[in-house]
């Protein structure tokens, strides 16, 4: 043992001068190899390739696997404590060992371990599963490298708001390029660029407005891309990359923490990384539980393959929890196959509610640690943010459901029984807040109902969620501020707490910015789309800004100019009005002086 330690020490001493240079080379080349391999797999995924081209893709994948295997071995050699290094990367070590064994057996003995395992466990298409696993592996590797590359953000003088916006632009660009590939749709040829871009923006911004029917036009591959865009758009691609970095090296830079704090509405820089992990935990927990319940209650009992049914359940769970509104059913939830499956509607509605509450509020409600802390300190209770979100959401859902029931009782609800009317009213009230699913024809609703829907969409979901709108807390602060001013009080008080004046002013700023964007969009749409009524245009614009996705049916019939207006509106609605304003306006220094006060007439 002593001799081995001496040999290892001698090797480490000899290799130490080149360690930094070699590891740096491996780091940059790893990013390049992952990018090239991912592009090759994407081309193989999106195009019908010839046998020769497909073999070329397999050669690239094989070379990449060899590269990462050699990279791992080199890192072991250069590490001063190789045993501890292997233990700390045990999952990667097992994967590399499997790749090594499989490559050696194929090369020297013409024996494929995967095929052997497939026959042993009676898995006929195991190579297909391995191909999918390899694609996921390289996607994870690429995101890890992107996450590590964000360390350069410490040296870039760009605000977190700007970087957050650019992350969505990159995601939308990648999504558009993927959806442009022929294999992504049922037609078998590249769609119109404007349609692919519109769909990518709508999915990335978790809106749900569509210019083509998702279930009819896009193939399963295209629907999978849309599902990934929804997931990345709901949590942001920066969050995914940062999370992977946290799992690989357990720390991130100050700038990255600042971006996360801005994105997740964390209380402090130090709490942003911990909140990020909890967000992913609860997100995947709710989505997996939701997919399981959807599969057991409906999709598992339908015709079709097991894999396709699982995909449909997972797609709708992700779409509902992220408040996206996309559906793989032709015609959405108004289609005959699901229009009367009310247990499905209820499950979707509760996924929407949980997704719209906000991640911080979900943690406050469902955290076991929080409940234990309350047992020791009963006076803590729920945070004021959680209370506002719960009360506001409950009141708005109840109000929306009751109004929809009585306004549409003799219209779209006339042919339904009492239980169906109650369920439909509840579902539409929930989904109008920010999700975009609909079980009735929105274009057939009365104008009074559409006005109520515009009001609900404008308010939207709770802060820190994937939903849009000005947010429930903003609306409550605006109502509180107006009420306090009318009563002539000096302080804003809620739940026996004093609300700072700057928060109320921020709420008014958000509302003013939102009304300005919506009004500008309505004005422009009225110029380019004169064939539609004002209520149709207003409904479409508010739905786009609040990232709801409901439509009276005019979205596919919009002109190119109209689609561009809606796309910009969806983007602004997703990144947030103030985030966009902060990224465009330069920060100004506070002046030490103060001008004399001026009195003027108001009202």
User: Is residue 125, in this structure, part of any structural domain at all?
Assistant: yes
Domain boundary among 155, 185, 220: 155
Q: What pLDDT sits at residue 567?
A: 95
User: Is residue 545, in this structure, part of any structural domain at all?
Assistant: yes
Q: What pLDDT sits at residue 230?
A: 92
How distant, in Å, are the alpha carbons of 159, 324, 393 from that of 235?
A: 19, 12, 21
d(C-alpha 317, C-alpha 319), whole Å: 5
In this predicted model, which residue has the larger pLDDT, 26 or 192? 192
DSSP state of 1: -
Domain boundary among 137, 155, 173: 155
Q: Residues 141-170: what's their mean pLDDT? A: 64
Q: Residues 251-256: what's their mean pLDDT? A: 50
Range of the domain at 430: 352-582
Q: Give 50-96 pLDDT, tens digit per residue.
A: 778 878 887 887 788 788 788 888 888 877 777 777 777 776 677 77
In this predicted model, which residue has the larger pLDDT, 598 or 243? 598
Contact status, residue 537 vs residue 526, Cβ threshold 8 Å:
yes
User: Is residue 8, in this structure, part of any structural domain at all?
Assistant: no
Q: Residues 149-161: what's their mean pLDDT? A: 57
Percent of the chain with pLDDT over 70: 76
Domain boundary among 111, 127, 155: 155
Domains of the chain: total: 2
Smallest CA-to-CA distance from 229 within 202, 251, 209 is with 202
CATH number, domain at 45?
1.20.120
User: Is residue 24, in this structure, part of any structural domain at all?
Assistant: yes
Q: Tell me the pLDDT band of 101, cut-offs 50, 70 and 90.
A: confident
Q: Give 306-357 pLDDT, tens digit per residue.
A: 878 889 999 999 999 988 889 999 888 888 888 888 999 999 999 999 888 8
User: Is residue 361, in this structure, part of any structural domain at all?
Assistant: yes
User: Is residue 233, in this structure, part of any structural domain at all?
Assistant: no
Q: What pLDDT sits at residue 123?
A: 47
d(C-alpha 382, C-alpha 388), whole Å: 10
Q: What pLDDT sits at residue 197?
A: 95
CB neighbours of residue 49 within 10 Å: 15
* pTM listed for this prediction: 0.82
Q: What pLDDT sits at residue 456?
A: 93
Residue with structure tokens 């107006």?
482
Q: Which of 147-156, 212-221, 342-351 is least confident? A: 147-156
In this predicted model, which residue has the larger pLDDT, 130 or 216? 216
User: Is residue 11, in this structure, part of any structural domain at all?
Assistant: no
Residue 249 has pLDDT above 50, yes or no: no
Q: Residue 494 — φ and ψ, nearest 5°?
A: -155, 130
């Amino acid at each position: 043992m002593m001799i081995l330690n001496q040999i290892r020490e001698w090797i480490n001493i000899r290799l130490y001068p080149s360690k930094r240079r070699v590891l740096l080379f491996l780091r940059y080349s790893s990013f390049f190899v992952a990018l090239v391999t991912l592009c090759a797999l994407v081309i193989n995924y999106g195009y019908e390739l010839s046998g020769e081209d497909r073999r070329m893709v397999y050669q690239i994948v094989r070379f990449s696997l060899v590269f990462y295997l050699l990279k791992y071995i080199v890192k072991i050699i250069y590490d001063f404590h190789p045993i501890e290094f292997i233990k700390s990367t045990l999952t990667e070590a097992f994967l590399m060992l499997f790749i090594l064994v499989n490559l050696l057996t194929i090369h020297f003995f013409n024996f494929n371990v995967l095929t052997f395992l497939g026959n042993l466990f009676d898995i006929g298409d195991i190579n297909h599963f391995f191909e999918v696993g390899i694609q996921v592996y390289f996607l994870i590797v690429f995101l890890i490298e992107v996450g590590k590359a964000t360390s350069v953000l410490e040296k870039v003088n760009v605000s977190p708001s700007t970087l957050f916006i650019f992350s969505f632009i990159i995601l939308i660009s990648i999504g558009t390029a993927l959806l442009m590939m022929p294999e992504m749709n049922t037609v078998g040829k590249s769609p119109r660029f404007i349609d692919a871009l519109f769909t990518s923006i709508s999915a990335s911004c978790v809106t749900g407005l569509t210019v083509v029917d998702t279930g009819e036009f896009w193939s399963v591959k295209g629907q999978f891309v849309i599902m990934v865009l929804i997931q990345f758009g709901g949590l942001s691609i920066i969050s995914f990359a940062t999370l992977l970095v946290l799992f690989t090296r357990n720390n991130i830079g100050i700038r990255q923490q600042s971006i996360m704090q801005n994105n997740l509405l964390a209380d402090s820089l130090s709490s942003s990384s911990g909140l990020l992990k909890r967000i992913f935990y609860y997100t995947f927990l709710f989505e997996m539980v939701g997919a399981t319940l959807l599969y057991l209650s409906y999709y598992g009992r339908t015709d079709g393959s097991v894999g396709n049914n699982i995909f449909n359940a997972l797609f709708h769970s992700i779409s509902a929890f992220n408040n996206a509104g996309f559906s793989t059913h032709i015609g959405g939830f108004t289609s005959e196959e699901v229009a009367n499956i009310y247990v499905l509607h209820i499950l979707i509605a509760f996924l929407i509610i949980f997704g719209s509450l906000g991640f911080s509020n979900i943690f406050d409600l469902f955290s076991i640690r929080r409940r234990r802390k309350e047992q020791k300190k009963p006076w803590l209770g729920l945070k004021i943010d959680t209370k506002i979100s719960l009360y506001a959401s409950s009141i708005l859902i109840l109000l929306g459901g009751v109004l929809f029931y009585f306004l549409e009782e003799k219209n779209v609800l006339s042919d339904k029984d009492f239980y169906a009317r109650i369920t439909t009213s509840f579902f539409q009230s929930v989904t109008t807040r920010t999700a975009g699913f609909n079980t009735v024809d929105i274009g057939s609703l009365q104008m009074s109902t559409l006005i109520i829907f515009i009001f609900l969409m404008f308010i939207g979901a709770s802060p820190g969620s994937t939903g849009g709108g000005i947010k429930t807390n903003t609306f409550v602060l605006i109502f509180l501020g107006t009420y306090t001013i009318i009563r002539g009080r000096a302080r804003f008080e809620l739940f026996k707490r004093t609300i700072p004046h700057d928060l109320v002013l921020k709420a008014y700023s958000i509302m003013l910015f939102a009304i300005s964007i919506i009004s500008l969009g309505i004005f422009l749409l009225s110029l380019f789309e004169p064939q539609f009524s004002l209520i149709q245009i207003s409904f479409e614009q508010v739905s786009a800004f609040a990232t709801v996705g409901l439509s009276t049916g005019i979205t596919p019939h919009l002109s190119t100019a109209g689609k561009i207006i809606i796309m910009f509106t969806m983007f602004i609605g997703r990144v947030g009005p103030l985030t966009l304003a902060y990224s465009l306006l330069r920060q100004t220094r506070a002046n030490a002086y103060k001008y004399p006060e001026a009195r003027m007439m108001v009202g």
